[in-house]
Amino acid sequence: MKPVGRPVHLDLLRIHLPLPGWVSILHRAAGALLFLAVPLGVWALSVSLSGEAGYSQARDWLAHPLARFGMLMLVWAFAHHFLAGLRHLALDVHWGVDLRRARLTSLAVLLGAALATLTAAWRLFA
């Protein structure tokens, strides 16, 4: 008898996932990234509210290029998660479930998140 489980010949690099599938996977990844960033945000807020020295320390820490890149990633995660969440809500009420609209809304989510990220990058690194 054959064991039941994951496919033996599954090659993840050769699977061509459609655009709505990528948006769905990125929606989950963005949500996980936002969830994991909450403790860091709470810590930074508590440091900045501890006093004038704490505020200066948090401001200096957030001025570092790696911290700015991290903030940029969080902007992308929030924008993508928000827009994809709206798309999923629309799908729940059966709007945009046909293939053409599903592809268009997926593209709109990706472009909207990219535009928000580029706008934030221009603001953070200018």
pLDDT in tens, 35-93: 999 999 999 999 999 999 999 999 999 999 999 999 999 999 999 999 999 999 999 99
Tens digits of residue pLDDT in 80-121: 999 999 999 999 999 999 999 999 999 999 999 999 999 999
Question: Do residues 34 and 78 make contact, with C-beta atoms less than 8 angstroms apart?
Answer: yes
Q: For position 67, which CATH number holds?
A: 1.20.1300.10
Tell me whether residue 8 is in a domain: no
Domain span including residue 85: 19-125
Tens digits of residue pLDDT in 96-105: 999 999 999 9
Tell me whether residue 11 is in a domain: no
- How many domains would you assign to the chain? 1
Tell me whether residue 24 is in a domain: yes
Question: Do residues 30 and 84 make contact, with C-beta atoms less than 8 angstroms apart?
Answer: yes
Q: What share of the chain is helix, strand, coil (3-state, %, to 5)?
A: 75, 0, 25
Tens digits of residue pLDDT in 4-31: 666 666 676 777 889 999 999 999 999 9
Query: 76: exposed, middle or buried (C-beta count within 10 Å: 0-12, 13-18, 19+)?
Result: buried
Tell me whether residue 1 is in a domain: no
pTM above 0.75, yes or no: yes
Tell me whether residue 50 is in a domain: yes
Tell me whether residue 55 is in a domain: yes
Tell me whether residue 70 is in a domain: yes
Q: What is the reported pLDDT for 108?
A: 97
Tell me whether residue 7 is in a domain: no
